[in-house]
Amino acid sequence: MIKVGIVGAIGYAGREFIRLLVAHPQAKLVCAVEMETGKKLQDVLPNLRKLVDIELEIFDPDVIAKKCDVVFFALPAGKSMPLASELVKRGVIVMDLGSDFRIKDAEQYSKFYKLEYTHPELVSRSVYGLVPWYREQIKQADIVAVPGCFPISNILPLRPLVQYAEPNVPIVIDSISGVSGAGRSLNELFHFPNMNENMRAYRIGNHQHIPEIEQEIGGKYTVQFTPHVAPLTRGILSTITLRPTKDINPSEIYKCYDDEPFVRVLPQGQFPEINYVRNSNFCDIGWTYDDRTGNIVIVCAIDNLVGGTAGMGIQCLNVRFGFPEDTGLRFPGMMP
């Protein structure tokens, strides 16, 4: 039984991670760090009553290092690096559900996150936790940067195909996210009557996930990334328009995912829905070639909190500790 800690237990990423961990047969939550110290976790998150009995505690690296095999972080940008550093020093494996360890290029990080890049030496040791592409490295990693939700929904479909893209035409990505992607902080934009029956685009051309996507699709392709938010709680649907330089057969190319337990490529002309993946770790990909325009259009669906965050985190944990990769994750999308 692996002993697991979570720093940032109450935010949406943290609580989703706990929700999955409770159902994991080989891991146990032994430590939950959050600002409401002294309270019982199950009093703050009543969904956990009769399942979890644990007190929220402060971040004390000595205490945590003693009782945890691995600690997950689910904190706002810039907050994990210094804390994680304390645990790494003490030999604890760290997995960050946030964004602090994902960007290898300090300049890009600072530009898009408007934050200082305090621990470059940790970032260079960290492994990007996108399991299908970094499985072997994760097995040995002591710092795993679990990828972001928008990036997962774009890197998985793009990475095998991107080499065939016309390099001078930016790849157009219009991603639509459910509102849970914005986290639990109160904001007029996400007050129910302001968000229900509403949609908007935001941070066009300067969203912080742009450098992460561009880094992981090879570094030489530019993406025109426009995130949108729509009135649903969970799910990301990404629509990618790519201009190929020559005839390709994506069905053949996507065979690289045949043995992936959580990536499913649909036959040409079929497209995924959030319904196929909600509350699951799956990433579903559909594509078509438009002979009128010469473009390939790809649609990808994930649950931003499971396949896009906490589920990918559990999968990293399984890989790192040698459990079957689908341990605690073997459940289909909730439909409806």
Alpha-carbon gap, residue 37 to 262, rounded angstroms: 36
DSSP reduced 3-state for 183? coil
Pairing of β 236-242 and β 295-302? antiparallel
Enumerate residues 45-74 that contact a copy of itself by CB under 8 A.
45-52
Residue 224 contacts a copy of itself per CB under 8 A? yes
Stretch of 94-102, 128-136, 309-317, 327-335 lying at the interface with a copy of itself (CB under 8 A): 327-335
| Angstrom distance (rounded) from CA 151 to CA 211 | 9
14 exposure class (CB count in 10 Å sphere: 0-12, 13-18, 19+): buried
Integer Cα distance of 59 and 166 in angstroms: 48
Determine if 237 is a binding residue for a copy of itself (CB under 8 A). yes
Q: Is 248 in the site for a copy of itself (CB under 8 A)?
A: no
Among 67, 107, 114, 202, binds a copy of itself (CB under 8 A): 202
Tokens of 70: 């691995």
Does the annotation count 316 as an active-site position?
A: no
In the set 31, 144, 277, 312, which binds a copy of itself (CB under 8 A)?
Answer: 277
Helix (H) or strand (E) segment spanning residue 88: helix 80-89
* Residues numbered 101-140 forming contacts with a copy of itself, rule: CB under 8 A: none
5 contributes a contact to a copy of itself by CB under 8 A: no
Q: Which stretch binds a copy of itself (CB under 8 A): 67-75, 91-99, 125-133, 294-302?
A: 294-302
Query: Which residues, at least 6 apart from 111, have a Cβ–Cβ distance to it below 8 Å?
Result: 211
Contact of 155 with 217, CB cutoff 8 Å: yes
**Which position among 194, 245, 251, 268 is part of the footprint of a copy of itself (CB under 8 A)?**
194
- Choice between 41 and 81, CB closer to a copy of itself: 41
**Active-site residue identified among 149, 283, 300, 316:** 149
Minimum distance from residue 156 beta carbon to a copy of itself (Å): 14
Span interacting with a copy of itself, options 80-88, 117-125, 154-162, 170-178, rule CB under 8 A: 170-178
The answer, yes or no, to whether the previous bond of 167 is cis (omega within 30 of 0) is no
Here the tokens at position 136 are: 């072997």
Query: Which residues are known catalytic residues?
Result: 149
